């Protein structure tokens, strides 16, 4: 089939299958592997918008295909693709190596295809990309690029298309960054499009969001772009948006649309939904509308909400009663009020403790609490104290098995555009600044320690790395001690951590022998992780049902009806 646009998702490091790379614990707490094969939700918004208007668009998750098979060959796939444009995401900067290499290969193998790049990191580095990466024809700026992309596909005069920087012969033309939709209601997150596109292209794998999606499927619903807070490490913060992404404040998807999004997943796919953005910060009227409508409509799928700050018992009570399975996640980042405030999260341990207690007491299914290692103003002991506090939180909730606490490093990169990256006075020492600095770090580095683009005033690189292994190991011990984990689970995770730690230590002396054994490496979907990875997944309780097949069946059945 001839496409107008193929949206391609690169792996973090293009040649990860050939290189021995210790990704360490950088992806223990996300559904992706260390190759970060999960594509941005923006792909779905772009595909839904363009397909609705008659364009032939598909997603191709190249990262996942590479993880799935050692034999997968990107060049061979390119030779078979019939499309005018390929859109590569460079939303998260850790994909810079994969994105630039895919662009290079596309231009080598198929110079007839025009290459677009988009996403927040592409926006931040738009000028550098056009200057230094000859394989990219167009960078589309901003966090909402559907309308701009439609103009490009429709063949409008490039000079009249806002937000793009592009090549015209040997010249770079910059149309600036002037167009920003004022709300998100024109967007659609139509998951049935993924199923339709999978069927039409005979390529289920290329559409899967991440390796384990068929076992642990989750649909995302986006409630906001931008944020009211300015957390020090966050490239999607108020500070970053105001200074680099053209938005003085966050914009929202209306509560009506949000409910529609959730209910369409409930009705069409029957899989858990993760609502991104803190909807409890909305007005009382909006919250009332969302919860009462969902309840009235009879929602019966698991829901996961994230919150930016603790909320009242009353709000939690409404939320928890919406459906039979409501989970929650909150990121206090540090157990020190002082460090938390410094890093932009304005609440105390006391309010966190009440919030966690209320959620569990009201019958919430699962609450995840996240701490971070590598924050400004945080020393090694502060990060280890977070583990002591985690014990305290678990004990004060009577070792409630619905409470899950995690710790992980800020890695591999501190986000460009964040306060930490831009303002040295916050306490970060940024080692890599430019796009190519980051590319080179991923190209030459062997371990996640080599990739870190920052140190802090209080912790150098080695301290961040060692503290990470110590804190995760200690947290696993605490969880075992309190009965959350079995001795076997602890032993297995401990071995994975130690193998990764040792591989880094030896690599510093030029000894890559342990790496080659493979335990600490990311090579396939079956990469080894600590038990924490299992703990972050929720909703389907480890069911091995092939959900995608079920969904395709459902879709075919309903379209016949
Ligand atoms: S990390 Fe902070 S700034 Fe970023 S989205 Fe979350 S609450 Fe907002």
Report pLDDT for 560.
39
Q: Which residues contact 54 (CB under 8 A, 6 or more apart)?
A: none
Instruction: Tell me, yes or no, whether 121 and 78 share the same domain.
Output: yes
CA-CA distances (angstroms) from residue 502 to 19, 360, 489, 494, 516?
18, 39, 20, 12, 12
- Side-chain-side CA neighbours of 243 within 13 Å: the count stands at 15
Which pLDDT belongs to residue 542? 39
Residue owning tokens 């290079």: 104
pLDDT at 541: 40
Q: Are residues 157 and 188 in the same domain?
A: yes
Does residue 336 sit in the same domain as residue 471? yes
Average pLDDT over all residues of the chain: 91
Residue 490 falls within a domain, yes or no? Answer: no
* Interval 140-155 mean pLDDT: 96
User: Does residue 236 have its Cβ closer than 6 Å to ligand 1?
Assistant: yes
Q: Is 449 helix (H, G, I), strand (E, B) or coil?
A: helix
pLDDT of 427 strictly over 50: yes
Average pLDDT of the residues in 172-201: 92
249 and 373 in one domain?
A: yes
| Ligand 1 pocket residue status of 229, Cβ below 6 Å | yes
Ligand 1 centre and the CA of 184: distance in Å? 18
474 domain-assigned: yes
CA of 307 to the centre of ligand 1 (A): 9
- Is the CB of 222 inside a 6 Å radius of any atom of ligand 1? no
What is the structure's pLDDT at 95? 96
Least-confidence region, from 93-97, 137-141, 231-235, 526-530: 526-530
- Indicate which residue's Cα is closest to atom 6 of ligand 1: 308
Verify that 163 and 74 share a domain, yes or no: yes
Could you tell which of 229, 414, 426 is best to mutate to test the pocket of ligand 1, judged by most ligand atoms within 8 Å of the CB? Answer: 229
Residues 231 and 259 in one domain: yes
Measured distance CA(379)–CA(385) in Å, rounded: 10
Same domain, 228 and 205: no
What is the per-residue pLDDT across 99-132, written as a single tens digit (0 to 9) for each?
999 999 999 999 999 999 999 999 999 999 999 9
Question: Would you say residue 28 has pLDDT above 70?
Answer: no
| Residue 306 in domain | yes
Count other C-beta atoms under 10 Å from residue 297's C-beta: 14
- Pocket of ligand 1 contains residue 142 by CB under 6 Å: no
Which residues lie closer than 8 Å to 124 by C-beta, 6 or more apart?
Answer: 235, 244, 416, 417
51 shares a domain with 167: yes
Please give the tally of structural domains in the chain: 2
228 shares a domain with 202:
no
Classify residue 499: in a domain, yes or no.
no
Q: Are residues 422 and 479 in the same domain?
A: yes
pLDDT tens, 72-109? Answer: 999 999 999 999 999 999 999 999 999 999 999 999 99
Q: Which residues of 545-557 are buried (b: 16+ CB within 10 A; e: fewer)?
A: eebbeebbebbee
Do 322 and 346 belong to one domain? yes
* Residues 237, 193 share a domain: no
pLDDT score for 561:
34
pLDDT of residue 499: 85
Q: What percent of the chain has pLDDT over 70?
A: 92
The answer to whether 165 and 123 are in contact (CB under 8 A) is no
3-state secondary structure 117-152: EECHHHHHCHHHHHHHCCCCCEEECCCCCHHHHHHH
Q: In this structure, is residue 356 part of a structural domain? A: yes
At residue 539, the pLDDT reads: 46
Assigned domain for 383 exists: yes
Is the pLDDT at 540 greater than 50, yes or no? no
Residue 158 in domain? yes
Mean pLDDT for 50-75 is: 96
Does residue 314 lie in a domain region? yes
Q: Which two tokens stand for residue 402?
A: 């619905």
Residue 36 C-alpha to ligand 1 middle, in angstroms? 20
Name every residue whose Cβ is closer than 8 Å to that of residue 281 and which is 6 or more positions away in sequence. 228, 308, 309
- The CATH number assigned to the domain holding 288 equals 3.20.20.70
Range from 280-289, 389-398, 518-527 carrying the lowest mean pLDDT: 518-527
Residue nearest to atom 7 of ligand 1 (CA): 308
**Between 356 and 18, the higher pLDDT residue:** 356
264 CA to centre of ligand 1 in angstroms: 27
Q: Give the pLDDT score at 508.
A: 83
pLDDT at 530 over 80: no
Closest C-alpha residue for ligand 1 atom 3: 237
Answer yes or no: is pLDDT of 303 > 50: yes
pLDDT at 102: 98
Ligand 1 centre to CA of 471 (Å) is 23
Range of the domain at 196: 1-211+529-561
Q: Residue 339 in 3-state DSSP?
A: helix
At residue 548 the predicted structure's pLDDT band, cuts being 50, 70 and 90, is low
Pocket of ligand 1 contains residue 237 by CB under 6 Å: yes
Return the exposure string of 517-530: e unless at least 16 CB atoms fall within 10 Å of the residue's CB, then b: eebbbbbbbebbbb
Which CATH number do you get for residue 94?
A: 3.40.50.2300
Listed in order, strand segments (DSSP E) in 300-344 are 303-307, 326-333
């Amino acid at each position: 089939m001839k496409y107008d646009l193929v949206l391609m998702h690169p792996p973090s490091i293009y040649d990860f299958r050939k290189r021995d790379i210790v990704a360490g614990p950088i992806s223990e707490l996300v559904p992706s592997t260390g190759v970060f094969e999960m594509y941005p939700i923006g792909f779905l918004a772009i595909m839904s918008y363009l397909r609705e208007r008659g364009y032939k668009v598909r997603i191709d998750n190249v990262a996942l295909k590479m993880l799935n098979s050692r034999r997968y060959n990107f060049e061979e796939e390119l030779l078979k693709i019939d499309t005018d444009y390929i859109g590569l995401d460079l939303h998260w900067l850790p994909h810079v190596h994969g994105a630039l290499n895919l662009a290079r290969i596309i231009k080598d193998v198929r110079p007839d295809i025009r290459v677009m790049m988009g996403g927040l990191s592409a926006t931040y580095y738009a000028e550098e990309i056009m200057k230094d990466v000859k394989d990219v024809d167009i960078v589309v700026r901003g966090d909402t690029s559907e309308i701009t992309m439609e103009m490009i596909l429709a063949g409008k005069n490039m000079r009249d298309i806002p937000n793009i920087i592009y090549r015209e012969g040997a010249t770079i033309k910059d149309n600036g960054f002037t167009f920003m939709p004022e709300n998100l209601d024109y967007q659609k997150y139509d998951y049935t499009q993924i199923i339709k596109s999978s069927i039409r292209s005979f390529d289920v794998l290329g559409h899967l969001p991440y390796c384990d999606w068929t076992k642990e499927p989750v649909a995302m619903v986006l409630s906001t772009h931008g944020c009211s807070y300015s957390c020090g490490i966050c490239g999607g913060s108020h500070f970053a948006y105001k200074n680099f992404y053209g938005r003085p404040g966050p914009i929202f998807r209306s509560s009506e649309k949000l409910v529609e999004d959730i209910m369409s997943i409930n009705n069409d796919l029957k899989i858990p939904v993760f609502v991104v953005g803190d909807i409890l910060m909305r007005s009382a009227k909006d919250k009332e509308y969302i919860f009462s409508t969902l309840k009235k409509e009879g929602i019966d799928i698991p829901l996961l909400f994230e919150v930016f700050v603790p909320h009242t018992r009353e709000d939690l009570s409404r939320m928890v009663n919406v459906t039979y399975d409501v989970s929650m996640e909150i990121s206090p980042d540090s157990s020190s009020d002082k460090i938390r405030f410094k890093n932009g999260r304005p609440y105390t341990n006391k309010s966190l403790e009440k919030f966690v207690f209320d959620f569990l007491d009201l019958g919430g299914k699962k609450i995840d609490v996240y701490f971070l290692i590598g924050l400004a103003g945080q020393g090694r002991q502060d990060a280890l104290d977070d583990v002591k506090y985690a014990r305290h939180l678990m004990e004060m909730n009577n070792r409630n098995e619905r409470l899950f606490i995690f710790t992980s490093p800020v890695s591999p990169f501190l986000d460009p555009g964040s306060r930490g990256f831009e303002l040295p006075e916050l306490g970060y020492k940024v080692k890599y600044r430019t796009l190519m600095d980051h590319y080179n770090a991923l190209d030459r580095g062997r371990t996640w320690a080599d990739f870190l683009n920052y140190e802090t005033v209080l912790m150098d690189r080695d301290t961040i790395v060692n503290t990470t292994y110590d804190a995760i190991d200690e947290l696993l011990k605490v969880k075992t001690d309190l009965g959350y984990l079995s001795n076997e689970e602890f032993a297995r995770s401990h071995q994975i951590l130690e193998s990764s730690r040792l591989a880094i230590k030896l690599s510093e002396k030029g000894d890559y022998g342990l790496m080659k054994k493979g335990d600490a490496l990311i090579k396939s979907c079956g990469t080894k992780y600590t038990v924490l990875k299992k703990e972050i997944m929720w909703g389907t309780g480890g069911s091995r049902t092939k959900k995608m097949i079920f969904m395709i069946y459902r879709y075919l059945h309903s379209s016949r009806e």
